[in-house]
Structure 1
């Protein structure tokens, strides 16, 4: 009869439990997989499957009793690590949504909001379009596989039992400024073109006061805005590649993966 000691059972559980918490936290927070479109059971099953596949490749776990207070601290650390990694990806996606909302406000579509099924909030139509484009590009360029590779490598660079250094947490804070700057960088060509259109209508109204600028300006601004969006789509891939490279750099630097 096979007899198993408490230490052996605790070691087996810890070797699967702590990686599961980090991977599951990432999948619960990251875009696409962590949205309301994917049922909770599917996300949990995916996290368990990934953990079972990568567990033999992970380094040794701390020899800590799974029922001790130290085990609870390590579990909380893994949840925070996975959640912060997913949060960085969320900020990357919402950069494009913010840029779309800026363009929508300038072209007069700020009132045209759609229900975002992924996050359960109302988003401007242009922002929803940009979110759909980013999602398709992210999946087409295997961004989800890159994220899984980063979280697996993080168990080597940031072993279980360790937490983020202060510099990494400070970098996440600076990441907010990058989000707003990048969103403005994406939206500023369309906003500048629409500003010229509005200035043109202002000059026309000054020279010919009998023109109804509200009846004429809004549909023309809307048509020009749609044309500008159509032209801007041609350069969307280059903007996405640059932003994705920066986001991946921050994600890797957060957990020390080179």
Structure 2
């Protein structure tokens, strides 16, 4: 019986090598993936998720995985670039969560609500508006099939950066600058209604203070801008999340646009 199983040994070694090679990239990508890689998710659950994603992705890219290295140095030289590559692709998805955090911070600062802190999925506390946007955006992404989109994104990453080839510095610089620019631009776009309301508030407050210097306009204006900010959030939050979700889905459908 053992003699009959011996021909299967090379196949099992190849399967283990393919799974290990894929797992290295996906584990680092999953560490910063929205929802699945957030800090409240226990480490054991993240490990199980990484294994499950590996089982999904490995059959699709198995032909592109090279042969098993002959020695430990070659083994490390092949897998080391995969760690950086996985982190590189995962950070661009994390940027969308940072976009909601930045938009929430801008909105809270503009409407004097920055002192009201909410919960956080990270280490540092953030304003309640930012926390609400992050939780809502993460829930929308998860309900829209984030696991399927993430698996497709992981497979597509091997088209953009083949196994064991590493990342070109020019590619990292170009894609990094473009995505960081989009992150801040989208955050400013989402928070634009609050910035406009803050501008109008300060102009009106200045006119009133100029007309009646003896009036303590700050005591009158502070409750008004706070109530207005909460009302504005009620009206604009669905629109903000809709724009964010459309941008996120567009990125997941065609990562990095025409990047070869």
Give TM class, smaller chain: 0.7 to 0.9
Please tell me whether residue 112 in structure 1 is matched to residue 113 in structure 2: no
Structure 1 counterpart SS, 2:108:
helix
What is the deviation of 1:4? Answer: 6.7
Out of 240-249 and 77-86, give the one that drifted further: 240-249
- 2:80 maps to 76
Query: Which stretches of structure 1, 4 residues or longer, exceed 6 Å deviation after superposition?
Result: 4-7
- How many residues in Structure 1 have an aligned counterpart in Structure 2? 255
1: CA distance between counterparts of 2:162 and 2:28? 16
Q: Is residue 19 from structure 1 mapped to residue 25 from structure 2 by the alignment?
A: no
Provide the residue aligned with 1:169 in structure 2: 172
Which sections of structure 1, spanning at least 5 residues, go unmatched? Answer: none
Alignment of 1:1-258 (within 5 A): 1-2=2-3, 3=6, 10-60=13-63, 61-65=65-69, 67-116=71-120, 118-156=121-159, 158-170=161-173, 171-245=175-249, 247-248=251-252, 251=255, 253=257
Contact 2:29–2:89 at 8 Å: present in 1 too?
yes
Q: Secondary structure at the match of 2:125?
A: strand
Measured against aligned partners, the alpha-carbon deviations of 1:8-41 in whole angstroms (never above 9, x if no partner) come to: 6653331110011111111111121111111111
| Preserved contact between residue 88 and residue 247 of structure 1 (Cα < 8 Å) | no
**Secondary structure of the residue that 1:123 maps to in structure 2?**
coil
List gaps (5 residues or longer) in structure 2. Answer: none
Question: Is the 8 Å Cα contact of residues 29 and 35 (structure 1) preserved in structure 2?
Answer: yes
Q: Distance in 2 between matches of 1:174 and 1:53?
A: 30
Distance 1:34 1:104, change over 3 A: same
Q: 1:81 Cα deviation (Å)?
A: 1.6
Q: TM-score, normalised by structure 2?
A: 0.87
Separation in 2, partners of 1:197, 1:11:
66
Comparing 59-68 and 29-38, the one that deviates more: 59-68
Alpha-carbon separation, structure 1, partners of 2:194 and 2:100: 14
